[in-house]
Structure 1
Amino acid sequence: MAGSVKALILLAFTGSLGMMFMLLACALPRYNNWWPLFVIIFYILAPIPYSMARRYRDDMGASSSCLELAVFFTAGIIISSFGLPIVLAHAPSLQPVIEWGACALVMTGNVVMYLTILGFFLAFDGDADSWNYF
């Protein structure tokens, strides 16, 4: 029980750290642009394919092709979340939508948030006895 509480506290800390980088990319007076917050949609969508495929595999005994398709969709979502800030910073207009400093902060937030999501799946995958990874 104590291991799962430690894991949950660590995941909450890293998730809030990732969101701090996202908010810094938006709210700092130098950047003052809220477009990078659209990346949060990808944070919500990223674990959905894998969670659905894992449940389907457990219930139906399906092959690993379903799980591999889910990993493919998850990889596409993650790559899109890294690509969106780059496209916004490299917009072909006279003035880019976001600055490169905000793009770097969003990239840092992406890395932290996706490591948090991965840590959640590693820490809480399986039954209650396997929660003691931390």
Structure 2
Amino acid sequence: MTLVILACALPNYGAWWPFTVVLFYILAPLPTIIARRYTEHTGASSANMDLAIFITMGFVISSFVLPITLARAPAKAPAIQWGACYLTLAGNIVVYLTYIGFFVTLYQDESDYGMW
């Protein structure tokens, strides 16, 4: 989050458009969390989980594409500078690696963290 806030707040960049990726940070884990709860209780097929992963990947890819699109369009006066785009992309990588680590730790069967 620090990198995304820096992308918005540094004086040379000066636009708060990169902060819109925070919406994707909030929405990305929700389909997987809902599908895991549903499949744990009902024992349904993995089609629900596959759909949840597909929707989650849509959110993840959108959070990477949005800063690039903002930095490229319109061509004469882009919405954000490339430096802000790079900081936002770095922030995306950190956030999504944290999500992966959380889900791997949470859903391991042999660890004590699975009780959560």
Tell me, in whole angstroms, the C-alpha distance in 1 between the residues paired with 2:55 and 2:105.
22
Identity value in percent: 53
What secondary structure sits across from 1:104 in the alignment?
A: helix
Hey, what does 2:29 align to over in structure 1? 47
Cα deviation code 1:72-102 (max 9, x no counterpart):
0000000000000011001125200001110
Which TM-score applies when normalising by structure 2? 0.92
Tell me, in whole angstroms, the C-alpha distance in 1 between the residues paired with 2:100 and 2:73.
31
Which TM-score applies when normalising by structure 1? 0.80
Hey, what does 2:57 align to over in structure 1? 75
Of 36, 56, 64, 2:38 maps to 56
Q: What is the identity, as a one-letter code, of the residue corresponding to 1:106? A: T
Q: Which runs of 4+ in 1 moved over 4 A?
A: 126-129
Note the C-alpha offset of 1:119: 1.0
Note the C-alpha offset of 1:123: 1.5
In structure 2, the gaps of 5 or more residues are none
CA RMSD, Structure 1 to Structure 2 (Å): 1.7
Which fold has the larger relative contact order, with Cα–Cα distance below 8 Å and residues 6 or more apart in sequence? 1
Tell me, in whole angstroms, the C-alpha distance in 1 between the residues paired with 2:96 and 2:4.
13
Tell me, in whole angstroms, the C-alpha distance in 1 between the residues paired with 2:74 and 2:2.
28
